[in-house]
Amino acid sequence: MPSSVMPTSSRSGGSPSPAAVSAVGLRKSYGDKTVLDGIDLVVPAGSVFALLGPNGAGKTTAVKILSTLIAADGGQAQVAGHDLAAEPQAVRAAIGVTGQFSAVDGLITGEENMLLMADLHHLSRTEGRRTAAELLERFDLTDAAKKPASTYSGGMKRRLDIAMTLVGDPRIIFLDEPTTGLDPRARHNMWGIIRELVSGGVTVFLTTQYLEEADELADRIAVLNGGKIVAEGSADELKRLIPGGHVRIRFTDPAAYQSAAVALREVTRDDESLSLQIPSDGSQRELRSILDWLDSAGVEADELTVHTPDLDDVFFALTGPTAGPSAGPTTVPNQSKETVR
């Protein structure tokens, strides 16, 4: 069984939003190679959904199916309330897709690329010029607008690509690996752009190999491996699926350390650093009970550190060579982040 966590409401809060994308049992094979082996997805409107997986996991295939570029062999999906198979035109009208391979034509200028898109969307000449100018401004490309796109940096090309996708004012955007190949600054810029899109009400379905990116942006993350969704949830929920979380309590007073070591159960002692380690999922309930124990023993700690596995741990555990739905998280590397509270 895949590890899964029940959906919670999207970042915008409030009651659960209607699904922008929902899929049940999507299947796709190339020859005898099964790429998608029956995947289910639900993406609430106005949220960011990340499909995370190693190279060749089938992320692009899923995006291509959901954006009507290729047909699934089986299963059903609805995008923007329209059935993928029955109303592909209506789906296309509601979505924008920025693929791994840029739609930007390097031989013409950024502005000409935008105007070409406006033509494709049948905007009038005036409307096309207005939209192009607005989007070029929004994506910080006004100064470069009259230069051939081949002279743009990777980050500028990617911004132009997304600006072109927005010409049709899509409510749902598919971004296939939006920051692959970008330097850290351009990547952070792109994250800012994605957040802005979402705050404007757009639903973002992105694929990524970067755990940090999924952690930064996504309300919900699905991990794709071996043709199946092997885990799904928020970044925090996924991290809790992996064992290894603990709370570390450090003391400077040896007497307080001794009292706490006696008062608390299941502790691992480190006499040298005067710290105690207690297995914990880092939840508020567990932290409170640890603090209550310390209080009732009348000892005060100097530092409390919550150690939760990071998404790297989740990724390795779920997508490693020995991983899989049945392998369980036994191969978790011990390289997690710590949060001092």
Ligand X SMILES: Nc1ncnc2c1ncn2[C@@H]1O[C@H](COP(=O)(O)OP(=O)(O)OP(=O)(O)O)[C@@H](O)[C@H]1O
Q: Where does this chain bind ligand X (CB under 6 A)?
A: 30, 35, 53, 55-61, 209
Provide, rounded to whole angstroms, the least separation between the CB of residue 207 and ligand X. Answer: 6
Nearer to ligand X, 58 or 309 (CB): 58
User: How many Å separate Cα 271 from the centre of its chain?
Assistant: 40
Taking the least distance from each CB to ligand X, the nearer of 224 and 314 is 224
Q: Which of 59, 23, 39 is nearest to 325 (CA)?
A: 39
CB of 93 to ligand X, least distance (A): 25
CB of 69 to ligand X, least distance (A): 11
As given in the structure block, the two tokens for residue 10 are 């999207």
Q: What's the closest the beta carbon of residue 101 comes to ligand X, in angstroms?
A: 10
104 contacts 167 by C-beta, under 8 angstroms: no
Nearer to ligand X, 36 or 166 (CB): 36
Q: What is the 3-state secondary structure (H, E, C) of the chain?
A: CCEECCCCCCCCCCCCCCEEEEEEEEEEEECCEEEEEEEEEEEECCCEEEEECCCCCCHHHHHHHHCCCCCCCEEEEEECCEECCCCHHHHHHHEEEECCCCCCCCCCEHHHHHHHHHHHCCCCHHHHHHHHHHHHHHCCCCCCCCCEHHHCCHHHHHHHHHHHHHHHCCCEEEEECCCCCCCHHHHHHHHHHHHHHHHCCCEEEEEECCHHHHHHHCCEEEEEECCEEEEEECHHHHHHCCCCCEEEEECCCHHHHHHHHHHCCCCEEECCCCEEEEECCCCHHHHHHHHHHHHHHCCCCCEEEEEECCHHHHHHHHHCCCCCCCCCCCCCCCCCEEEEC
Sequence-ordered list of residues with C-beta below 8 angstroms from that of 101, at least 6 positions apart, any chain: none
The minimum distance between CB 181 and ligand X, in angstroms, equals: 12
Question: Nearer Cβ to ligand X, position 90 or 182?
Answer: 182
* Nearer to ligand X among residue 149 and residue 224 (C-beta): 224
Residue 40 CB, nearest approach to ligand X (Å): 17
Between 65 and 160, name the residue whose CB sits nearer to ligand X. Answer: 65
Nearer to ligand X, 54 or 328 (CB): 54
CB of 228 to ligand X, least distance (A): 13
- Between 30 and 340, CB nearer to ligand X: 30
Q: Tell me the closest approach of the beta carbon of residue 210 to ligand X, in angstroms.
A: 11
